[in-house]
Structure 1
Amino acid sequence: MFVASGRVIPAVFRQLQIPLQVVLYAGLFILSRQLVAWGHVPLPANLVGMLLLLALIICRVVPLHWVRAGSRWLLAEMLLFFVPAVVAVVNYPHLVMVDGWRICLVIALSTLLVLGATAWVVDKVYRYEVARERQGARDND
C-alpha cells in the first residue's frame, strides 16, 4: 500500500504542478494589484508582480523550481494569448486604414528598442562575467 501511494502522490503532484504554478502567478498578480492600489505605486501591477517574484527568487524565499514549469508553459502558449487581440483588430478596419502605419511604426520601434536593450544588457553581463572569471583566475594563482 505504501509503495502504491508513494508512486501515486508524485504523479498527481506532477499533473498539478503547472496549474498550481499558474495559480501562484495569478495570486501574485492579485497581491501586486492590491499593493499598487494601496501604496499608490506609479507602476503597473504586472511589473510590480514580476519585481516581487524576482525579489522572492533572489532572496530564496521561493525556489526557482517552484515556478519554472509554469513559466515554461506560459511562454510556450504565449501566442495563444495574443489571438483574441489580433482577431479584435478585424472589427476596426477604419482604425487600421487611418492609423495602421502609426501602429506598425510603434511596433517596429518598440521591437528594435527591446532588441537593443536586451543586446546591451547581455553584453554588459557577459563582460562582467568574463572580468569576474579573470579576477578569480588571478586570485587562484
Structure 2
Amino acid sequence: MSEAHSRISSILLTVGQVALLSLIWMAAQYVSVHYLPQLPGGVLGMLALLTLFASGKVSPTWFERGAGWLLAELLLFFIPAVIAIVNFGALFADAGARIVLVIVLSTALVMLSTAFAVEWTGRLIRLHRRRMRLAALEV
C-alpha cells in the first residue's frame, strides 16, 4: 500500500507542478495579449519564473518533476513538423539544403543566446546572493 501511495503522490506532484507552470504561462499570456503585445507570453512567463527564482521566494526544485515531464513529452510538439515534411516532400526536395541551413543556423543562434542568457542570469543571481550575505554581515 505504501508503494501505491508513493506512486500516486508522485503523479499528483507532477500534475500539480505542470498545472502551476501552465497557470504561470496563462497569466503571462493574458498580460502579453492585453498589456504588452510586443512580448510573447512564453517570454513573460519565463521572466516571471526567473524573477521568482532570483528573489529566492521560489525554488527551482518546486518545478523539477513537472518541468522534467514536459521536457520528456516535448516530442509531441514536433509531430506536426514531421507531418509537414511528409506532405510537402517536393518543396523539401527543391529547397531542402537552404531550409536545413536556416534551421541549423537559427538553432545555433537560439542555443547561443540561451546559453548567454543563462550565464548572465546565473551571474546576476550569484552577485545578488553575495550582496545579501555582505549586507547581513554588516548588520
Instruction: Give the structure-2-normalised TM-score.
Output: 0.68
Residue 98 of structure 1 and its aligned partner are, at CA, apart by 3.5
The one-letter code sitting in structure 1 at the alignment partner of 2:73 is E
Which of 88, 91, 94 is equivalent to 1:98?
94
1:61 partner SS: coil
In the alignment, does 2:11 pair up with 1:24?
Answer: no
Alpha-carbon offset, residue 122 of structure 1: 7.8
Q: CA deviation at 1:50?
A: 1.0
Pairs within 5 Å for 1:2-21: 12-21=8-17
3-state DSSP of counterpart to 2:87: coil
TM-score, scaled to structure 1: 0.67
Farther off after superposition, 22-31 or 113-122: 113-122
Q: Name 1:34's counterpart in structure 2.
A: 30
Deviation at 1:32, TM superposition (A): 0.8
Task: Letter of the 1:15 partner, please give it.
Answer: I
Structure 1 residue 113 and structure 2 residue 109: aligned?
yes
Residue in 2 aligned with 1:87? 83
**For residues 74 and 87 of structure 1, what CA distance do their matches in structure 2 show?**
21
Match of 1:72 in 2: 68
Letter in 2 for 1:92: F
Q: Which runs of 5+ in 1 are unaligned?
A: 1-5, 133-141
CA distance in 2 between counterparts of 1:122 and 1:40 reads: 23
Deviations 1:74-103 (A, max 9, x none): 222322331232123211223323332222
Unaligned runs of 5+ in 2: 131-139
Once superposed, what is the RMSD of the aligned Cα atoms? 3.2
Q: Percent identity?
A: 37
